[in-house]
Amino acid sequence: MSRRRFAVSHLGPALVGPLVLMALTGVAAGVPYAVISGNGGQVWRVLASAVLFVPAMWVLVGAAMALIGLLKRFTTAAWALLAGFAVLGEIGPLLKLPTAVLKVLPYAKRAEPARRHRHLDAADRAAECCRCPDRGRPGDI
Model confidence pLDDT, tens digit, residues 97-138? 888 888 877 777 655 655 554 444 555 555 554 554 444 445
How many domains does the chain divide into?
A: 2
Instruction: Looking at the structure, tell me whether residues 70 and 134 fall in a common domain.
Output: no
Give the separation between CA 80 and CA 77, rounded to whole angstroms.
5
Q: Compute how many other C-beta atoms are within 10 angstroms of the C-beta atom of residue 93.
A: 11
Instruction: Looking at the structure, tell me whether residues 95 and 52 fall in a common domain.
Output: yes
C-beta of residue 49 within 8 angstroms of C-beta of residue 112? no
**Contacts of 39 by beta carbon, 8 Å cutoff, 6+ apart:** none
**Domain assignment of residue 138, given as a range:** 111-141
Instruction: Looking at the structure, tell me whether residues 97 and 138 fall in a common domain.
Output: no
Model confidence pLDDT, tens digit, residues 57-101? 898 888 888 888 787 777 888 888 888 888 888 888 888 888 888
Q: Compute CA distances 129 → 14, 56, 100, 122, whole Å.
A: 39, 29, 28, 10
User: Mapping DSSP to helix (H, G, I), strand (E, B) and coil, where does residue 123 land?
Assistant: helix
C-alpha closest to that of 11 among 52, 56, 3, 79: 3
Instruction: Looking at the structure, tell me whether residues 98 and 122 fall in a common domain.
Output: no
Instruction: Looking at the structure, tell me whether residues 116 and 97 fall in a common domain.
Output: no
Q: Is the pTM of this model over 0.75?
A: no
Instruction: Looking at the structure, tell me whether residues 66 and 94 fall in a common domain.
Output: yes
Instruction: Looking at the structure, tell me whether residues 86 and 141 fall in a common domain.
Output: no
